[in-house]
Structure formats: structure tokens, C-alpha cells
Amino acid sequence: MSLREKAASVVMGHIPTTDTAALRSYMQNDALGGFLLMGANMPADEPALRAITAALTVDPSRPPLIAIDQEGGDVSRLPWDDLPAPYELQDADPAATEAAYAARAALVRQAGIGVNFGIVADVTADPQSFLRRRILGTTPDAAAARVAAAVHGEQGKALSTLKHFPGHGAAPGDSHSTIPATATTLDQWRTADAVPFRAGIEAGAPLLMFGHLAYTAVDTAPASLSPTWHRIAREELGFTGVAITDDLGMLEASGVPEYADPVANAVAALAAGNDMVLTVVYSTPETAPRIVDGIVAAVQSGAVPLDRLDEAATRVMELRLAIAAAGTGDLPCTTCTPRD
């Protein structure tokens, strides 16, 4: 791959349309590595959605990572998903979670989607939290059991993503419009918010989404831009898969001046250790190409080492090739460990 191809391969983009020609052109122009389907991309039925995902797949031998936020319940893009929502599973046996997420992942895969940003591994007991109905447990152990079950349920059908690392529950506020912060220490995190993420990683989740939230006792920067948190995920939790940012547009929406430039945010995120950068809010057809240009320039200037880009592009391509090799069969799980 050329430098520009590598840079494009670590960008997951989005444009709000169901026009298959426009979507194909968007993906074709820069050979982006991924696309996130949002509500504005949803047609009326599954056959029409399959036409959309087919249009996004310019090269079937190297398909993009087509992703969706299909949590079920409050965050559901597929209108035909009537499976149990996370809040309905919080007090159920973990086996019920595994069954629900297996069925949900099958819906995702049938539509031609390979990645589900569907497992909220955050934990909170606060009934006022905007995450309260989206989590799988209100205590670390309860959440961990169901997060692991959800990952096991999705295996073979969709590539599971855990979010929002290192844990939104400890940081009050909504990261869609601010940078939530917490004074929680690393030791406190290890015994609480880390527990569901560790369980999901050990269950084999191949993607980990880093949130725009700051544990100020660990790093004052948001986790999505923090080399420290990426090191902790890799070295302490043993994560070996693809690290991806939450939507970088959320950093812009925070109003913090230093996060006003989407290109600078993407470059900083890649340098921090993310393997893929996601752009949704404020994204236009020109946003992703600008980010690709910025990554190329950063590598050429030495601001981002070529080895860092190579590492990221390789991890992303491994997932893309796994999807291609699977065809309509079961997806392999390269990050899985044997179950007890």
C-alpha cells in the first residue's frame, strides 16, 4: 500500500444519505477503511440496506469495515430489531444476554454489516445517567458477566466493539457535547470501571472504542487522545485488536478551542495509539479526504512515525481480510481465548 492508501485505510467516515451512487463514490474516491451507518443511512427494509452495504463495498477482496451502533433499545438503527434491550437484560441471566446479542449480530450480518458498535461496557448505578438504559449491569461484576456474554453471542456473526473505554460511568456528563472528567485514580479504576472491559477483552472482542472523557488523575487529556490509556489497554488488559476513537466530531462539539480542528484531532488520535479514527458529526464528503491528507502530512513531517501508521493499517486490514475470507460463513475470532 502507498502512504496515502495506508492513511485512508485507518479512517472510518460517514455521509448522511441513502443514495447508493453517492455512497459508492464517497468510498471509492479515497478507498476509506470503513464507514459508520447512522439513522440517515437507514432505508425502510433489509433488502434496501443490503444494497447500501453492497455499494459501500467497492473491492470485495478488501471490504471496508462497515459499522453500526446496534445496541438495541434506545440506540437502535435497525427498525426491525425487536430483541431485548440492554436495560431489559440488566437483571437477567447472562445466558439471556448471549442469546439476544447472537440474534442481534445475525441481523447486523444479514444486512452486510461486519462491525457492531453495540456493547456498552460502561457501568453506573446512577439512575440519572444518560447511559443508564444502555449498560448491561449497574455493578462492575454484573456488567462484566453480561458484557462477556454479549461478546460470546456476537462471535462468528459480527465483530464486537466495547465502548466507551476507559469507562464513561465514572465521568458525569455527556461526551456528545462536553469532555466529561473524573478524579478517579488508576487503582480505583482497576477495581471498578475496568472490570467489564477486562471481561470483554478476555472474551475476545476485536475492537475497543476510546471515549472522549478524562480521568484527570491518570491523564488530563481525553482517553481518545491519551497514549497512557492506550498503553494501559494493551499492556494491562492485554488488548490486541483494533483501537478506534469515538466520533471525533464530538471533540469539536465540546467547544474546547484546542479540539476545533478535526484534522489535528485525527492526527493526535492516531499518534496516541488509535488504529482507526471515526468522523461522523460535522462530516461532509470533504472531511475524510482532509483527514487523510493530514495523516499523510503528519507522517511525512515525522509528527506521526511511519511505524505507527503501519501498525494501525495492518490491524485494520487484518479485520477487513477476515471479513472477505469469511464470505457468508462464520467470522474468525483471532482475539479469542478458549471458554471454560
Q: How far apart are CA 293 and CA 264, in angstroms?
A: 11
Handedness of CA 108, 276, 55, 288 (dihedral sign): positive
Q: How far apart are CA 29 and CA 174, in angstroms?
A: 34
Give catalytic status of residue 176 as yes or no. yes
Catalytic residue chosen out of the listed positions 69, 122, 219, 246: 246
Cβ neighbourhood burial of 324 (10 Å; 0-12, 13-18, 19+): middle
C-alpha cell at 260: 476545533
Give catalytic status of residue 246 as yes or no. yes
Catalytic residue chosen out of the listed positions 81, 174, 176, 293: 176
Nearest to 333 by CA among 322, 324, 325: 322
206 to 32, 124, 168: CA distances (angstroms): 20, 24, 20
Q: Give catalytic residues, as residue numbers.
A: 176, 246
